[in-house]
Structures are given as structure tokens and as C-alpha cells.
Amino acid sequence: MTTGRITNQEALALAASDILALDGAGMATLLEVGTPSCRKRLNAMLAAWHPDRNADPAAGDVLRVLLEWKSRSALAPAAPDIAEPATCERVFHLTGGSARRVRVLSQRHAHAGDILVTPGTVARVFAAENVHLAGVGECFVSALPFADDRMRKDLAPALPQLLSILPLEGGDRLEIYRRPQGSILLQDLLEHGARTGRCFAPQDLAWVVSGLMSIAEWLDWAGQAHGCIDATSVFVNPETQAVALLGGWEFSVPFGHKPSALPKRTLELLPQMQLGGRADGRIALKQIQALGRDLLGFDAGGAALPEPVQRWLSWPRTGEVQRDHAGWIAATEEAWGPHKLLALGVSERDVYRH
């Protein structure tokens, strides 16, 4: 198959074996992802490969792959609640009468308050009713153990680094953290794809799960549980495949302790925590598995996912982090070969127009 534009006639003439052999980039080319013609092309192929109309024995397999791509949010019209990140300015009034102006590239509500992506930093705004959670994450992170200086240096870019704390009028609190160069809030990256019609194939985002599993293995070694791993707490750099867990640390707790607070989503994944359960490695694992299912399209049908990856995403997590991490590496290598840096063609500047 050529790498240039494929006409409708050529697309409809492809054999089932040709379509099923395509990787993510090939399918994106075939379906003209990111162009106004995408939905028309996809609907034409869905009609052509429906088993009621197509006698090819592999028609059902082709249809499942096409439906998987249709189900991805990046192929759907942008939802009205997906706001395009645009630079604006917020003014925060500090106790004592002074003001702090913050240039905002992206703003969204997280579990304990607003999260603001700003040039070079991440700002967290804790509302007065949640101010008891402010500072908890910083205290927790500053007390985390490292085996040696090399481990500390390697993990530093993946952890929040507090720059300043500002008490605000009305009892709110503003915390400002360093944002690693080139990093993007995961939720912003996904919504950028949806807004621009960019469809990420499963192997395009598998490295996010890999990065989080590395962090989870360290937390397991340290005997600590992170209670809020989702698209509003994770930052990623598509160009280097670096993953940072900058948010949600206020919901962290040492193993063996009862968390004083957890987000609703975490409690839904781990209902035993509502009954006085104590923290262990399953807290991070269940959240990473759930995020992986969302990123790779498992719950949308998962038809395009290789069987080893489907198996890892569906099996119950036992809390054996090191074993599960090794299992994830084995599953992805069996599915897509040894890890390699895949260019997504998306950068921080594409997502945050500043």
C-alpha cells in the first residue's frame, strides 16, 4: 500500500488481509484521520465490510477493526465540553492585599481544586473547603525515600517540585510547581487529539502505561500508595516519552494505613477502601490499569488490541507490582516488538499556543 493519499476507490478495493495487516499509521492514512473526509471514508468502509453485504470470511474481523477506530474519541466530533486551550490571565488576590497574575495555558477542575497549566509551571488552586489537603502532597513527596543519589536524580523529573505557596483571600490556597520542559497534561493531549481529529493507535500511547508502571514499582519499593493516578494528575512529553506524576499526591498514604480521603474514581476501582481497607500496591496498579484501558481503547471494544495487551488490561491486579510491571513489558514486546521511540507528531507548542 502506498504512503500517499488513498482514493475512495482504492480504499474500498483493498482486500481484508491488506487492511488487517495495517499498523496504526497505516490505518490513519487509510481512514484519512485528521481531515474533513475521515468520517465519510470510515462510514463508506463500514458499509462495505458489513457481513450482511460482504461475503468475505474475514469481513467480521475488518468490521471490528473499523468499529474500534470509530469508537475512538479522536474520530468523533469534538464534544461541546472540550475547550480549546487558549492563553488567558487569572489574577489571584493574596492575603495582605497584593495580587498575583498568572498566565494560563490550560485550566480544568481536578479532584481537590483547579489545576492550571502555565508557562514552565503547574498551579494548583485548593478551594477553602479542601484547604486541609493543601500541603499534604508536598509533605508526602519530600519524605519519600530513595535508595541512592542516582535514584533520586532519575526520579526527580517525574515528581512535583514545589516553587511557592500563596495563601489567598477567602481561605483558598495557590501552590505553584515546576513543569518539566515539553510536558503536557495527559488530559490536554487527549483532548487535543479529539479536537484536531488525530487518532492515536494503541502502540502510540503504551509508553504512558510503561512510565507509570516504573513509578509504581518505585512507590512499591518505598511502601507508599498514590491515590489519584488519572489524566488530570499525569504529565507526558510525547517527544521524549517522559512521564511525570505531578498531581494527586494529597491522596497518598503509606502502605498499611487507611487513606483519609480518596477521589470517587479510585473508590469505584477499589470499593474495599470504602470499608476501611488499608493501602497496598493494588491502589496504584488498579488506577494505572484503568487509565491504560481508557488510553488504548479497551473498553471501547478493544478489537484492534493484540491479545497479550488485552489480557494484561483485563486480568485482576494482585498488588505484586514488580511482577505486573514485568508482565506489561512482556505483553507489549510480544504485541509490538521491543520498545522504541515513536514520534506522535505532537509537541507542547501544538497543544499550548503560547
Q: What's the pLDDT at 300? A: 60
Q: Is 106 helix (H, G, I), strand (E, B) or coil?
A: strand
Q: What is the pLDDT along the chain (354 residues), one digit of tens a residue?
A: 444 578 888 888 999 999 998 877 788 788 877 666 777 788 788 888 887 778 899 988 888 888 777 655 343 333 333 444 556 889 999 998 999 999 999 998 888 889 999 999 999 999 888 888 888 888 899 999 999 999 999 999 999 999 999 999 999 999 999 999 999 999 999 998 888 877 778 888 999 999 999 999 999 999 999 999 999 999 999 999 999 999 999 999 999 999 888 999 999 999 888 888 899 999 999 999 999 999 988 866 555 789 999 999 998 777 789 999 999 999 999 999 988 877 788 999 999 975
In order of 71, 141, 179, the CA distances from 243 in angstroms are: 26, 17, 12
Look at residues 88, 85, 174 and name the one whose alpha carbon lies nearest to residue 128.
174
pTM: 0.75
Burial 328-352 (b: 16+ CB within 10 A, else e): beebbeebbeeeeebebebebeebb
CATH topology match: 88-178 vs 191-349: no
Residue 104 contacts residue 87 (beta carbons within 8 Å):
yes
- Span 191-349 CATH architecture: Orthogonal Bundle (1.10)
266 in Cβ contact with 273 (< 8 Å): yes
**Nearest by Cα to 180 from 125, 234, 121:** 121
In the chain, the DSSP E strands lie at 88-93, 99-104, 106-109, 113-118, 121-126, 162-167, 173-178, 184-185, 224-225, 234-237, 242-245, 253-254
Q: Which residue has the cell 463500514?
A: 46
C-alpha cell recorded at residue 92:
489571584
Closest residue by Cα to residue 40 from 31, 51, 49: 31
pLDDT, residue 91, reads 93
pLDDT value of residue 3: 47
What pLDDT score was predicted for residue 274? 82
Beta bridge partners of 174: 125, 166
Specify the 3-state DSSP secondary structure of 170: helix
In sequence order, the 6+-apart residues with CB closer than 8 A to the CB of 151 are: 218
**CA–CA distance, 178 with 163 (Å, rounded to integer):** 7
Instruction: State residue 350's pLDDT score.
Output: 92
Buried/exposed code over 238-254 (b: 16+ C-beta within 10 A; e: otherwise): bbebbbbbbbbbbbbbe
Q: Residue 221 belongs to what H/E stretch?
A: helix 202-222
Q: What's the CATH architecture for 88-178? A: 2-Layer Sandwich (3.30)
C-alpha grid cell for residue 86? 487558549
In the chain the first and final C-alpha atoms are separated, in Å, by 39
* Domain boundaries along the sequence of the chain: 8-71, 88-178, 191-349
